[in-house]
Amino acid sequence: MRIESTYKQNIQDRLEMPIKPKKNIFLQIALLVAVLFFFFSLYQLNFDYARLISGTGAFLETLTLMVPPDISQWQHVLAAALESFQVAVLGTIFGIIIGFVLAFPAADNITPHPTVAWLIKGFASLLRAIPTLIWALIFIVAVGLGPFTGILAITVGAAGMLVKVFTQSIEEIDYGVIEALKATGAGWFSIVSQAVIPTVLTAFLSWCILRFEADMGESTILGAVGAGGIGWELTHAMRAYKFDQAFFVAVVIFLMVFSVELVSNRLKMRMKNIG
């Protein structure tokens, strides 16, 4: 009896002992490497705290030169803002079309051939690997300055992202629906139109809205390199040291981007309610 009671007590003590979580050695090493690399980067890039303090003072002094904003060139600024908006709309729509066409053969669960899916995904990865600003510089060499360059750059950037997210949305659908249509003898286009598109349409719309928000911001930046739009007005004002005009351009950019995000958020909320 004594041995049995001792055995039961040992089992009870073991059950009451707190279980120590296993240490993740890889995570600890990765964290240590990240911390060391952070301090190495501070040293290697000559992070100067004195320049940061003096630069903050110069920045605050520049802010005083921006107020009040100069709105004398409001017609040119608003025309440039409209041009940036048009560049974002056209570039996003073209990118959506390309992404929509390529996403279906790129999805592993409905692709006609695995090699086709691999090639399309690799092509989309290449488009995403090069920033939109670099694409703009490439297209400037090819077609020259102007909004057409901005449209092409945004189209390429949007297509690279949308192919990826559209493909992921397709690959996440229930494969049983696809198998059921295949059992009835439905062809590839019938499966896509009757099963896939109705299932992923809401997700596609959400990704399109999100991409347009990003393209709206990029269209203002592309103007700084000569791709047309309001970014060129901001760059021109800053180079001429007309900080009051630059401040007005910045305000217009903020209002334009904020308005697009506000409308986009409401559209996404309505789609969630419908879904």
- Please write the tens of the pLDDT for every residue from 163-184: 999 999 988 887 777 777 777 7
pLDDT at residue 225, rounded to an integer: 79
Question: pLDDT-derived band of residue 269, with 50, 70 and 90 as boundaries?
Answer: confident
For residues 159 and 207, is the Cβ–Cβ distance under 8 A? no
- Domain containing 21 equals 2-53
Q: Do 183 and 233 fall within a single domain?
A: yes
Percent share of the chain, pLDDT over 90: 20
The sign one gets for the Cα dihedral 93, 94, 99, 102 is positive
Is position 212 within any domain?
Answer: yes
> What's the average model confidence in pLDDT over 137-160?
89
CATH number at residue 145: 1.10.3720.10
Q: 45, 159, 151, 142: which is closest to 100 by C-alpha? A: 159
> What's the average model confidence in pLDDT over 53-58?
78
Q: Do 179 and 263 fall within a single domain?
A: yes
Q: Do 16 and 108 fall within a single domain?
A: no
Maximum CA extent, the chain: 99
Q: Do 242 and 118 fall within a single domain?
A: yes
In terms of pTM, does the model score above 0.75? Answer: yes
186 pLDDT above the threshold of 80? no
The sign one gets for the Cα dihedral 124, 126, 128, 133 is negative
Is position 218 within any domain?
Answer: yes
- Please write the tens of the pLDDT for every residue from 239-260: 888 888 888 888 888 888 888 8
For residues 246 and 66, is the Cβ–Cβ distance under 8 A? yes
